[in-house]
Structure formats: C-alpha cells, structure tokens
Amino acid sequence: MSLRKVYLSPHTLTFLGTQGDPGRTLFSVIGVPLDSTSSFRSGTRFAPYSIRLMSQSLETMSLRTGIDVEDYAPYDEGNVSISHGNVDLSLRYVEAVCEDLVREGRLPILLGGEHTISVGSIRGIFKALGSDTCYLVLDAHADYRSEYLGFKLSHACTTRRVRELLGPSNVFIIGLRALSKDELRSLKVDGVRYVTSIDVLRLGAREVARRVNDFKSTCSRLYVSIDMDVFDPAYAPGVTTPEPEGLSPTLVFGVLSRVLDKSVVGIDVVEVSPPYDVGMITSALAAKVVLESIAYIVASGGAVTSHP
C-alpha cells in the first residue's frame, strides 16, 4: 500500500463535486487541515471543507484560457490525517503524501490549513525531485522569522524554512506589505527577491509576470504557494491575519495566468479561516484560484495525459 493511503482519509465532499479521472488528469487535490500555530484568527482547519463546498457553486469555464476545467477535474485524494497539536508529525504526513504523489508524476494541490503546510510539501518535493525548484509565494507577510513564539515550525516562519531548503535565490515573494524590520533586513541580506503589493499596483500584472518568469527561468520546476491574505481584505476577509492594501483577484490572476505553466509541480492555497469568512467569499475565491491555476497549467500543455 502506498504511504499516501495511510496518511489520507477520504472526504465526503470532493472539489468541484466530482471525481476527476486520475488517468486523464494528474492534478490531485488534498485537504490539509493543519491549524496549530495560528497566532490570531484560527480556524483554518475548516477551510478544506469550505473551499470544497464553495467550489461546487463555481462555473468551471476559464475565459482567460478557453479551458473548461470540468474536462480536467482534479482527483480529490481526501484529507491528510492531521495530528492536532503536533506540527512536526503532521508535516511529516504532508511530506510523505506529497513525495508519494510527485514520484508518481502527479501534481498536488493542497487546500490548507495554515501556511506551515508549505514546509511539508516542499520537503516532499525536495525528496522526490531535488532542490532545483523555485518557490513563488503570494503573501502579504514575509513569514521570514527564524522562530516565532518559540517555534521554528510556525506560520510566521514558512518562507524562512523554505529558503533554508531551496536557497534564497529560489524564493520570490509577491504582494508583500507586512513584516518586521528584522525580516526586511534579512530578506535584503539574503538577496530574496520580492515585489510589494504597492509595486504590483504600480507595475501592473504584465511587468510583475515578466520579473517572475525571469526568476523561474533559473529553475527546472516551480512551486506556487498562495496565501489568501495576498488579496485585499475587501476581497478576502476570511483569513487568519488580514492586512490592508492588498491585491485584487484580477491583478493576481493577471500575474498567475502569465506565470503558471507545465513547470509547476505543486500548488497550495492557505490561511482561509472560515469562522471569519463573511458569506464564504474567501472560500469561493480560494476555489477560483485552484480552478484558474488548473486552467493555466492545462493551457500550457501540463499535467494532463489526454483531452476529451
């Protein structure tokens, strides 16, 4: 039995309300309800459920690409069996599941959970494929602390942990606008590239995408982590740590549609906190992020074995 069967339990709801043909589509959705280190508005453990629920209300046609994602619906693998209170063990499950999926040539799409889950998935991809992976993170926060509240495995340290694995030149942050002066100093010392949310508003999606494509051309593979707080709280109120002056969905999709291609080996969508999600609009947007991302990758010729 493969390891991922041990660490996953099936979910009664599936993404899009269907079960994709795993022979045709290489996308695998996994829920990761890790919610252990949130320091403010916890509740991310409910997000895999609410994102799946809201996905069922969305139309699957992507107008930017002309791709109907229903034709390439992901296979929903269920949820990682999180050991609540034990982050280290939970991340080892995430790592094992991602390593297993990637070794089979599948493309994991993780529905968080808190941002810490990216450390598990990057470790799994690192083990399966090596270090030659670029990490693109969309986040209001730098998450670049060495430790936070005494923990190294914390949502506030995610990008720092990933940088330790992949190297600073393999990390790029979009939408940054919330960090300590020590984090800013460390980012500069390490030479980590970033564009602030103000930069994105000033430069526009096309120029930001050009910079990201320049960055990712140095790696064989791309992993994309989307912290939903990169969006302005007006669009995504239901997150653990909302931060004003964020991006619009149109700007974010404008960047992602020019950047995501067949080099993508993994995606996560994190930090939705359903108890604070008025009208479930943040969950709907998170589901839309997954839908559009699938469309961009399919449009570039990635992650599918046959067409309808």
How far apart (Å, rounded) are the C-alpha atoms in residues 308 and 306? Answer: 7
**Residue 139 makes contact with Mn ion by CB under 5 A:** yes
Task: Output the smallest distance, CB 138 to Mn ion, in A.
Answer: 9
Among residues 229, 232, 268, 292, which is the contact residue for Mn ion, using CB under 5 A? Answer: 229
Q: Which stretch binds Mn ion (CB under 5 A): 47-55, 71-79, 85-93, 221-229?
A: 221-229
Return the residue of 52, 106, 123, 141 that touches Mn ion, per CB under 5 A.
141
CA 181 to chain centre: 26
CA distances from 280 to 14, 123, 284 (A): 17, 31, 6
Segment near Mn ion (CB under 5 A); pick from 18-26, 169-177, 224-232, 261-269: 224-232
Considering only CA atoms, which of 82, 44, 115, 52 is closest in space to residue 275? 44
- Cβ distance to Mn ion smaller for residue 14 or 240: 240
CA distances from 63 to 69, 112, 299, 304 (A): 11, 26, 12, 19
Whose Cβ is closer to Mn ion: residue 62's or residue 273's?
273
Instruction: Please report whether residue 227 would count as binding Mn ion according to CB under 5 A.
Output: yes
Contacts of Mn ion in 24-63 (CB under 5 A):
none
Name the residue among 291, 300, 270, 241 with its Cα closest to residue 68.
Answer: 291
- Per rule CB under 5 A, count of chain residues that contact Mn ion: 5
By CB under 5 A, residue 177 contacts Mn ion: no
Residue 100 interacts with Mn ion (CB under 5 A)? no
In 10 A of CB 89, how many CB atoms? 10
**CB closer to Mn ion, 179 vs 298:** 179
Please identify, among the stretches 70-78, 83-91, 137-145, 247-255, the one whose residues bind Mn ion according to the rule CB under 5 A.
137-145
User: Binding to Mn ion by residue 216, rule CB under 5 A?
Assistant: no
Q: In what order do the strands lie in the sheet with 264-270?
A: 8-9, 75-80, 27-32, 107-112, 264-270, 221-227, 133-138, 171-176, 193-196
Give me the residues that bind Mn ion (CB under 5 A), please: 139-141, 227, 229
